[in-house]
C-alpha cells in the first residue's frame, strides 16, 4: 500500500498540544508518520504560527520549550519534513488567496501557503479551519480534520 502524504495545518498540531476535541485524530496522523505509514510535510511557517500561539497561551516557558523541542525532534527523526516554500509554492498560494470576494472574504495567505504546498506536492492539506476549507475546496487536495479517518 502506498503511503499518503499530508500537509498538516498548524491548527492540527494545536489540537494535539491543547488536547482539544479532535486531538485523537491529530495524534493518529502523527503516530502513522512515526510508523512510516504516511508522510507529513509542513511549510516552515508552521513553526512561527505554533510558537506565536504557545507564547500567547502558555505562561510557563518550559512548557512552551517542551512542545517546540518535540516538533524539532519530529523533524530531526524525519517524521515531518519542514519545507521553505519556493517561488512556485508562493505563487500558487497567491492564486488561492486571491479567490473569494469582498462579501464572503478572501482566504488568508498563510493558510493558502499550506494548501499550495499540498497541491504542488501531490499531498492532502488537512486543516481544522472550516472557513478556509469552504472558501478553497474547489482547488482540491484539502480535507477537514474532522473528516480525516483514524485509519490513516
Q: pLDDT tens digits for 3-33? A: 799 999 999 999 999 999 999 999 999 999 9
Q: Nearest CA to 72 among 46, 111, 38? A: 46
CATH of the domain at 51: 3.40.50.1010
What kind and span of H or E run contains 27?
helix 23-34
Residue 152 domain-assigned (yes or no): no
pLDDT of residue 152 exceeding 70, the answer is no
Grid cell listed for 118: 499540498
49-58, 86-95, 140-149 — which is least confidently predicted? 140-149
Within a domain: 128: yes
Distance CA 88, CA 119 (A): 11
Cβ(82)–Cβ(75) under 8 Å? yes
At 2, the pLDDT band (50, 70, 90 cuts) reads low
Phi, psi of 125 (to 5 degrees): -85, 120
Beta strand residue intervals within the chain, DSSP E: 4-8, 38-43, 80-83, 124-127, 142-144
Q: What is the DSSP letter of 50?
A: H
What pLDDT shows up at residue 151? 44
Residue 99 lies in a domain: yes
> Would you say residue 44 lies in a domain?
yes
> Which H/E stretch holds residue 58?
none
Which residues make Cβ contacts (< 8 Å) with residue 152, sequence separation at least 6? Answer: 4, 6, 28, 29, 32, 37, 38
Averaged pLDDT score across all residues of the chain: 92
Whole-number pLDDT of residue 150? 43
Number of domains composing the chain: 1
**Which range, of 111-115, 135-139, 146-150, averages the lowest pLDDT?**
146-150
Query: The domain containing residue 56 runs over which residues?
Result: 4-147
Amino acid at each position: 500500500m502506498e503511503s499518503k502524504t499530508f500537509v498538516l495545518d498548524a491548527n492540527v498540531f494545536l489540537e494535539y498540544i491543547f488536547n482539544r476535541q479532535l486531538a485523537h485524530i491529530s495524534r493518529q496522523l502523527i503516530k502513522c508518520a512515526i510508523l512510516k505509514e504516511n508522510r507529513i510535510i509542513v511549510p516552515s511557517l508552521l513553526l512561527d504560527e505554533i510558537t506565536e500561539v504557545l507564547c500567547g497561551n502558555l505562561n510557563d516557558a518550559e512548557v512552551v520549550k517542551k512542545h517546540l523541542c518535540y516538533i524539532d525532534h519530529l523533524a530531526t527523526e524525519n517524521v515531518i519534513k519542514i519545507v521553505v516554500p519556493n517561488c512556485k509554492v508562493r505563487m500558487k498560494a497567491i492564486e488561492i488567496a486571491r479567490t473569494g470576494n469582498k462579501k464572503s472574504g478572501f482566504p488568508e495567505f498563510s493558510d493558502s501557503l499550506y494548501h499550495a504546498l499540498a497541491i504542488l506536492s501531490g499531498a492532502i492539506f488537512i486543516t481544522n479551519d472550516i472557513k478556509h476549507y469552504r472558501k478553497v475546496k474547489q482547488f482540491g487536495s484539502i480535507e477537514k480534520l474532522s473528516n480525516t479517518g483514524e485509519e490513516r
